[in-house]
Amino acid sequence: MFIDIPTALEDALIGLPLPTWKLDGSFLAQSTMERYRSELAATPQLEETATTLRHALTEEGGGYAVLRLGNLAKALSADDDRFLRLATAFAAEVAIPFSPFPRWPLWKDIGVKVDKDPGKSSGIGYNAFHMDLVNGSLPPDYTTLLCVRPDPLGGGPSILSDPHAAVARLSENSRALLAEPAYHYGTFFDLNGVGEECKPFPVLDGSDPGGFVRFTAKMLKRSELSRAHAEAARELAEELVRGQVSFMLQPGDYLIVNQRRLLHGREALHSGQQAVPVADRRLLLQLFLRAGASSGPAA
């Protein structure tokens, strides 16, 4: 779902006096959320746009949306504080913005590092299907990516896939293996708002039909799994690729993904990144969201 911002709303947002945000621990402060919502509520066609956004993220068959904020990005500059406040305000219409990483600001830069592991988010290779913070007992309900600059060489389209549909296409034996707490991936330290470490964890919890499919294809290469459990995970990874959708994010596009509905990833960037100046390389900003008032700082 790609959502264009009505012209009247764009015009009103350009001059909107949103204050600098405040945090309550790792979460956007309630006072900031209330101020942002109050300011947005006074703009034309905001409620219709916000309702469309929420429906795209939560209704049957949905799970993601791309807000086309490109004109606002041009008017305000995509990495300007005023533009980031607007993007944060839109995010707050969906859920509670927060940062699980105390060492990072609310919005985390995801640039391109040619000497990084190619499969990482800031690498130049294929970033396989995954959910963010997969090994936390309370992963973010939403992961979001704001495009400041796409790959100037034309690579790196975003990919999404429905893990529940992919699981339904697997054999009963594979689903049984994925339901066993036999999987693990990554480290877990210096994190806020994502619960306790799950190690090991099941890919399929089974307790909540609308719950997370705790999956990252990266564990196939970076975790020691039994042959049977690895094969079941590999089959799921193949089904995810079979059911994927892909698209290119343009400057100002704001991708919001419901992690209970979809997994995300990225195709490889175009070859030749070493020749692209750092200041011109692909740049995304990442923000996480927690659904529900009960999931704020007290959680």
In-domain check, residue 219: yes
Mind listing the pLDDT tens digit for each residue in 4-61?
999 999 999 998 989 999 999 999 999 999 999 999 999 999 999 999 999 999 998 8
Domain with 126, as residue range(s), is 2-289
Q: What does residue 171 show for φ and ψ, rounded to 5 degrees?
A: -70, 160
Has residue 297 got a pLDDT over 70? no
Mind listing the pLDDT tens digit for each residue in 224-282?
999 999 999 999 999 999 999 999 999 999 999 999 999 999 999 999 999 999 999 99
Token digits of residue 89: 């305000």
Structure pTM? 0.94
Q: Name the β-bridge partners of 247.
A: 158
> CA torsion angle for 95, 158, 260, 239 (degrees, to 10)?
170
Percent of the chain with pLDDT over 90: 86
> What is the number of domains present in the chain?
1
Q: What is the CA radius of gyration of the chain?
A: 19
Has residue 207 got a pLDDT over 70? no
In-domain check, residue 294: no
Per-residue model confidence (pLDDT) at position 211: 79
In-domain check, residue 299: no
Has residue 208 got a pLDDT over 70? no
In-domain check, residue 297: no
Q: Name the β-bridge partners of 245.
A: 160
In-domain check, residue 100: yes
**CATH code for the domain of 251:** 3.60.130.10
Say whether the peptide bond before residue 97 is cis (omega within 30 degrees of 0). no
Per-residue model confidence (pLDDT) at position 299: 32
- Residue with the two structure tokens 């945090």: 23
Burial 104-122 (b: 16+ CB within 10 A, else e): eebbbebbbeeeeeebebb
In-domain check, residue 52: yes
In-domain check, residue 29: yes
User: Span 96-104, mean pLDDT?
Assistant: 94
In-domain check, residue 134: yes
User: Span 198-223, mean pLDDT?
Assistant: 86
Residue among 163, 129, 160 nearest 256 (CA): 160
